[in-house]
Amino acid sequence: MPSPLLFKVTLGVTGGIAAYKSAEVVRALQRHSLDVHVVMTRAAEEFVRPLTFASLTGHKVFTSLWQTDAYEDVGIEHISEAQSTNLLLVAPATADTLAKFAHGLADDFLSTLYLATTAPVLVAPAMNVNMWNHAATQANLSTLRQRGVEIIEPGSGYLACGMTGSGRLAEIDEIVHAVLVLIQRLDEHPARDLAGETVLITAGGTREPIDPVRFIGNRSSGRMGYALAEAAIARGAKVILVSAPTALATPAGCERIDVTTASQMHEAVLAHLPQATIVVKAAAVSDFRPTAVAPQKLRRSGPLTLSLEPTEDIAQSVAAHRNPGTLLIAFAAEIPIDTQDLIRNAREKMGRKGADAIVANDVSQSALGFDSERNAATFITPTREVAFPAQSKSDLAHHILDEVAHLRAAKAK
């Protein structure tokens, strides 16, 4: 746990009836020696006065981008707060605030602070049950999760509107626990332990054309590779992301190279390999492609036979052409008979590819891996195996990079 008042938590308070509970959140965090600062939206002021939080925290409460008492700071304070905070916690988080965050709107102090900060973000939603269940809200939550925002799920019960269901602000103890777990995680992996590294990451599923409109592909969403890119950036690395087609937004601070086919990915990886000190092959690369691509759309006129040929083995090419000392981390998506089969297959692939380590995951589980925001994996090196249980891909990315950092330190000895 950080020393008293050295870890700064910025608490965003938004306009819902649960805003009165935010004062309790402040006190509970202070009992753990955290330095709490408060940002309020205009709507939040209709429920709780800024003076309440100023009295509790001993700090100025930010309510507007246009502070009338300090014109010399106009347009600056939200950047200063964004850079100085260690954690942004929004409790309660209304549907409106979640939508602003998800769509990058910045029309008040809190939404601007969110876009400007690189600190971890926790949100505790609170709203009417129908608003919580609405497809728009759920889509916004999915977008935020993909970007690394952690969601403290609301409770279920009698709501202020008179309805019963999900939407109640999580209990104070749950919110504080989530904050402390995140702080512990940050404490375990130093914020800049990959500073000075250039990490080349591949992500997404490649597509091999059959004709102008059809292709051979796979179910990879690219989420794992993108989560690794975001985590590596957060830990101080320069990141080059070679991405197959995906709907994901480019992680802030990385160089992204878009490709479609395995051949294009192979070419892009080798072109940027001289810069890389760590290569993470998280993409799901097609193993085969048609030997010939039809120049026009194929018509349905009976059975069709495709002749296929192997695509380039990108990992083997990296192993053969990398600079001395460059780490190669491969991925193995397996449908194993059992755990030992998973490990055995992954170890064989690691040796065949010439990788320093391999991340093996069982893609036969429908709720994990492809098309999912969660994953489970085993990090394998020639001398050890570390299993990671099911968790968000953002969390798993940091666990994987923990092992990469350890591997780097071991190689340096």
User: Any idea which residues carry the catalytic annotation?
Assistant: 161
Q: In what order do the strands lie in the sheet with 8-13?
A: 35-40, 8-13, 87-93, 121-125, 150-151
Peptide bond into 92 cis (omega under 30): yes
Strand, coil or helix: 71: helix
Task: Give the residue among 144, 146, 265 at the shortest CA–CA distance from 203.
Answer: 265
Q: Can you tell me the distance from the alpha carbon of 202 to that of 271, in angstroms, rounded to the nearest whole number?
A: 13
H/E segment holding residue 122? strand 121-125
- State the Cα–Cα distance between residues 217 and 208, nearest whole angstrom: 7
Q: Which two tokens stand for residue 63?
A: 């309510």
Tell me the C-alpha distance between 340 and 114, whole Å.
Answer: 44
Residue 392, phi then psi, degrees to nearest 5: -65, 150
